[in-house]
Amino acid sequence: MAANSSTTIHPRVVLGTCCLSLLLVMMDVTVVNVVLPSIHAQLHGSFSTLQWVVDAYTLMVASLMLLVGSLADRFGRRRMFLLGIGLFCGGSALCGLARSVEMLVLARAVQGIGGSMLNPVALSILTNVYVEPRARAQAIGIWGATSGVALALGPVVGGVLVHWVGWQAVFWVNVPIGLVAIMLTLRFVPESRGGAGRGIDAPGQLLAIVALAMVTSGLIEAHNYGWASPTISGFLGFGLLSIVAFVLVEQRAAAPLIDLRFFRAWPFSGAIVIAVLAFAIFSAFLFLNTLYLQDVRGLPALQAGLCTLPFAFGSMLCAPLSGRLTGRYGARLPLLLSATGFVVSAIVLTGLDVTTPLGALLVSYGLCGCGFGMCNAPITNSAIAGMPRAQAGVAAAIASTSRQVGALLGIALGGALSAGSTGGVRWADFPQATHVVWWCMIGAALGIAALGVVSTGIRARKTAQDVAALLDSR
């Protein structure tokens, strides 16, 4: 739809504004992990509440991302973008004001609701403003590269702010950046809509939220109640029932939240599972290692942040390389390279203890960053490969949601496997307790490699063509 005629369109300013939104969201990922020990020291929450500080945000993003795309198409992308920035900044302010860990978790959920409205809507805005294909590709490339910059800045910014001001400053810094983004959006970003758009699948959306919340709660609280407790059985059982109900509802919905026919295409299904595995590795790796560096090794937040830079630099260097390799050779090669980076990184950590040389840790962090950087381009490429053009955006949105689901489960499962069964954590035993997580990381990486082979073959491409023909015929 044409842009609002009362708004002067400056594509580069629009791009810069969208990049600011991505900077807010992606920097928040690495910043929060670095400040968790400081939050724990001041607010005295349990290990599980530290997991909730991260996962309350991710749960909202994972649950609402698909819904937000439909709402933005229907009610206006700029309007939804402004609402997202406002909620994110409001949630950030509430985080800075939090005087208990419970209040902080609730404020993080508010942040997550706002965050769910930023990245998918920003991408829609860029697609609307940059009409010419080459210019659009360049703009989206710059927008995506901002993610790597944010990941690199996050630990250092977080460490500096904690060192000189306090952990609250990590959240307060979002407010002035968000206000600048709001002013730029009001002045330069045109309003646009996507026509009538898809209907709102309220039952499917509700079941998706319940399923993710129940499974996450069960995994996070397992070491408080015990895996055999009725509470955990109830959480996990209700979560599984919600997943089954979600599948049944989506099969019958006139405008489903997720068209389950997409999963008949092997490249798409492979991309979704790979995204979950890769982002589970990423989130568990970052969460556990930042705790290890500060609570076990005793490093201050600034030094811990600097130690994570090899991960961010590895991701920044390999992400554009992965894009080129995917464009030239397809998704298989970068996925195999991604799995290799993850496997070797985890092997280094299977012997983690208090005296592990810092050089070995930095090598491991860099290799994990390379693995993470290598996987994103082939995930998106495989998700949309062979899909009709009208369905490519929905397929990419589902892939983005699966990334968030992976990050959500990585924190929950990584903590559940390493925290013990008493609800508390003995930091002297923590390195040994994480070994099972690194072995699981190796298993997940091998799964990425296997799926990378299976989902990129001739037979897999044939299934994608069959699904495209089915979707085109409806």
CA distance linking residue 340 with residue 326, whole number of Å: 16
Quote the pTM value.
0.88
Co-location of 130 and 206 in the same domain: no
Co-location of 120 and 217 in the same domain: no
| Cα 345 off chain centre by | 20
Contact 148, 30 (CB under 8 A): no
Q: Which residues contact 230 (CB under 8 A, 6 or more apart)?
A: none
Q: Is 191 left (phi over 0), alpha (psi -120 to 50) or beta?
A: beta
**Is residue 348 situated within a structural domain?**
yes
Co-location of 335 and 215 in the same domain: no
Please choose, from the candidates 430, 431, 163, the residue with its C-alpha nearest in 3D space to the C-alpha of residue 303: 163
Co-location of 213 and 176 in the same domain: no
> Which tokens is 257 given?
């939240």
Please choose, from the candidates 61, 67, 69, 48, the residue with its C-alpha nearest in 3D space to the C-alpha of residue 113: 61
Co-location of 242 and 279 in the same domain: no
**Is residue 238 situated within a structural domain?**
yes
**Is residue 426 situated within a structural domain?**
yes
Co-location of 302 and 164 in the same domain: no
Co-location of 133 and 232 in the same domain: no
Task: Per-residue pLDDT tens, the chain, 474 aa: give them.
Answer: 444 444 556 888 888 888 888 888 888 877 888 888 889 888 887 888 888 999 999 999 988 988 887 788 788 889 999 999 999 999 999 999 999 999 999 999 999 999 988 887 887 788 778 877 777 767 776 776 777 677 767 888 888 888 889 999 999 999 999 999 999 999 888 888 765 556 678 898 999 999 999 999 999 888 788 888 999 999 999 999 999 999 999 998 888 888 888 898 899 999 999 999 999 999 999 999 999 999 999 999 889 888 988 998 898 888 888 888 888 888 899 999 999 999 999 999 999 999 999 999 999 999 999 999 899 888 888 887 766 666 766 777 788 889 889 999 999 998 888 875 445 567 888 999 999 999 999 999 999 999 999 998 889 888 888 887 887 665
Co-location of 137 and 226 in the same domain: no
Q: How many domains does the structure of the chain reveal? A: 3
Which SS3 state, helix, strand or coil, does residue 341 take? helix
In eight-state DSSP terms, residue 263 is: G
**Is residue 153 situated within a structural domain?**
yes
Co-location of 92 and 226 in the same domain: no
**Is residue 123 situated within a structural domain?**
yes
- For residue range 371-397, list pLDDT tens digits in order: 998 998 888 888 877 666 667 667 777
Which SS3 state, helix, strand or coil, does residue 297 take? coil
Of 256, 276, 297, the domain-final residue: 256
Task: Tell me the backbone φ, ψ of residue 46, rounded to 5 degrees.
Answer: -80, 175
CATH code assigned at 51: 1.20.1250.20
Domain that holds residue 322: 260-474
**Is residue 217 situated within a structural domain?**
yes
Burial of 253 (0-12, 13-18, 19+ CB in 10 A): middle
**Is residue 195 situated within a structural domain?**
no
CB-based burial, 312-349: b 16+ in 10 Å, e otherwise: bbbbbebbeebbebbeeebbbbbbbbbbbbbbbbbbbb
Q: Indicate the residue type of 313.
A: F
> Which tokens is 304 given?
């811990």
Co-location of 53 and 173 in the same domain: yes
Co-location of 450 and 377 in the same domain: yes
> Which tokens is 473 given?
């015929």
**Is residue 196 situated within a structural domain?**
no
State the first-to-last Cα distance of the chain, in angstroms, to the nearest integer: 24
Helix (H) or strand (E) holding 94: helix 77-97
Please choose, from the candidates 115, 32, 101, 60, the residue with its C-alpha nearest in 3D space to the C-alpha of residue 287: 32
Diameter over CA atoms, the chain:
63
Of 256, 277, 301, the domain-final residue: 256
Co-location of 268 and 378 in the same domain: yes
